[in-house]
Chain A
Amino acid sequence: MNHSVPNTFTNRFIRCKELSVGYSKNQQIITNVECELYQNDFIVLLGRNGQGKSSLLKTLLSIIPPLQGKVEHNIATIPFQKSIAYVPSNLDVYGFVSVEEYIGFGRYQHTNFFGTLQQEDIRAIDSAISTIGIEHLRTRQFSTLSDGEKQKCHIARAIAQEPTFLILDEPTSHLDPPTKRNIITLLQTIANNNIGVLLSTHDIHSVQDVIKSIWFVENKTLVVTNEGEEIPLQLQSFFNESGIKKA
């Protein structure tokens, strides 16, 4: 992967060093994780069920504290979560929230003490809504949406945050095939605009054409395969079992 960028621009990164992911010392899910995510990366996190993909993402976001090692970053914003937008795999909202309001939550980090939306916040919300194409859902109540529509709202909310990094946990699992393609293309565009995108997915068929770098989790280890590198054996067999031919 080429990380050469203009000098005027600080390339932000999130880096894992000797990281152990898990919920308790004697139940480590992934050990000795060494990986890094740069701005303008587009990384797909693959792995079988229960291998710890979501837990790894949550550790990167400091939702779960690391068991060993640490997550480093050179993000300048305080808190650093301001620069990382997260799309969880399933999220239900308690109480009455309209779609517009929900997407407005993405502006949480940018608004003042009482969360009053300013002109630029409203602009960010509007543009996120039109980017995902959910104008028709705007005034709908969040909890009455279908799973797929909710997923679109999650992504729109993450985009409204205007982050440096976008971490998505199975963002396409409930989407219809055309929307899946659109979202993947959109995420690629986002990555090309200097935003680091990391998404976990089981839907290799939709991403196989655009795939560059792969993080693959199996047997408590994370295998990083960058663009142009040879695909390791375990990932090869994962692809074969999934019915995918990948050179």
Chain B
Amino acid sequence: MKVLHTPLLYLLGLLFVMIVLTISITTGTVSISLRDLLEYVFTNQILPELTKTILFEIRIPKSISAVSAGIALSVSGYILQTLFRNPLASSSSLGISSGASLGVAFVMIGSSIGISTFSTLSFLHSTSVIGAAIIGAFITTMLILLLSLKIRSMTTMLLVGFMVGTICTAIVGIWQYISSPDQLQAFFLWSMGSLHLANLHQSMIFLLITICITFVIFIYSKQITILSLGEEFSKSFGINVQRLRFLLLLSCSILAGCVTAFCGPIGFVGIIVPHIVRYSIHTSDSKKIIPWVAICGASFMLICDSITSALSHTFPLPISLITSIIGVPIVLWILMTKSFYSTVS
């Protein structure tokens, strides 16, 4: 593949993000025409009340969530893969989404009122779920960071994350075993992930946190590039590997925690997008890769979201189903055609 000059690549990428963002906002059960949208933005034309409600309470929060989740998952996936030197690492391999799930499960037990099928959906939208997920993710993050201070090897770290995730999943499993079918359904729906959990305010907060953390990571891109040579070798460059690792783990944990809190446990995007990125931009330079990862992540999520909206007529399909169905063939194609593993090893 011809490798484009990076600034041009970014420009085209951003343009593409704008296009898919528009598509994502305009498609859905009630379609909003592009002309109305443009007129509203540029001439401040008054929209019908219903359209306005749909726009500001459903579509825009959803699209902002999609952009944020796409960036957060892809960037943390890329960083963790570099850190662990393992193409299978993603934010879910730190066990943070499992920790968040545990938090949500606890809240669901705690709510003494039995959740009926009718209130299931409203329960999913409540702030208590987001709060519970944040607390769950925070406790797991602290546990993992505490353990990371004691651990020398990154492979051990990967195992520790997996272990923490497994124990959380097991506790959730016990709870699921004893809970009522309604609770089970509510939890199941949450665990499939959705871009409709956050309202406008929450999605803005999500976007803000994501951009800030991505920027912090970007500042360390020079060290991150060297880190791809391994920790021991990075130390010979005078890099404080312990501190860098802690900082990156903390950043990725916050990103993973936010995604789980605002969108539920969707994690697979973090594996798909970095693969697409490595195929499309041939460099090891993190300062070039990180912006491209963010652009690709946002576009990928928006595309998946548009497809979800176009397919479903009543209530949108869970986003994580579509990301897997779209993403897996792409990654398989890259793996099969481009003898990709020679670039990973």
Contact = CB atoms under 8 A, between A and B. Distances in A.
B236 A86 contact: yes
Q: Of A58, A63, A80, A113, which is in contact with the most chain B CB atoms at under 10 Å from its CB?
A: A63
Interface stretch (A95-103, A175-183, A189-197, A206-214): A95-103
B24 to A, nearest CB: 31
B179 interface: no
Contact of A144 (B225, B230, B232, B342): B342
A137 to B, nearest CB: 15
Nearest to A78: B238
B342 A91 contact: no
Contacts of A95: 82, 228, 278, 284, 343-344
Measured as residues with beta carbon below 8 angstroms from the partner, the interface class of chain A is 20 to 34
Nearest to B230: A91
Given A88-B232, A96-B278, A141-B342, A109 B237 contact: yes
- A-side interface mostly: loop
B222 A114 contact: yes
Contact of B238 (A80, A93, A113, A114): A80
B232 A58 contact: yes
A68 interface: no
A243 interface: no
A240 B284 CA distance: 47
A241 interface: no
Contacts of B221: 114-115
Given A86-B236, A95-B344, A143-B345, A108 B278 contact: no
Contacts of A82: 238
A93 B343 contact: no
Contacts of B287: 114-115
Nearest to B343: A96
B57 interface: no
Nearest to A116: B287
A232 to B, nearest CB: 31
B182 interface: no
A114 B233 CA distance: 19
B226 A108 contact: yes
Interface of B: 81-82, 85, 221-222, 225-226, 228-230, 232-233, 235-238, 278, 282-285, 287, 342-345
16 contacts: A61-B236, A88-B236, A91-B229, A92-B230, A94-B81, A94-B228, A94-B344, A94-B345, A97-B284, A105-B225, A105-B226, A108-B222, A111-B222, A141-B343, A143-B344, A143-B345
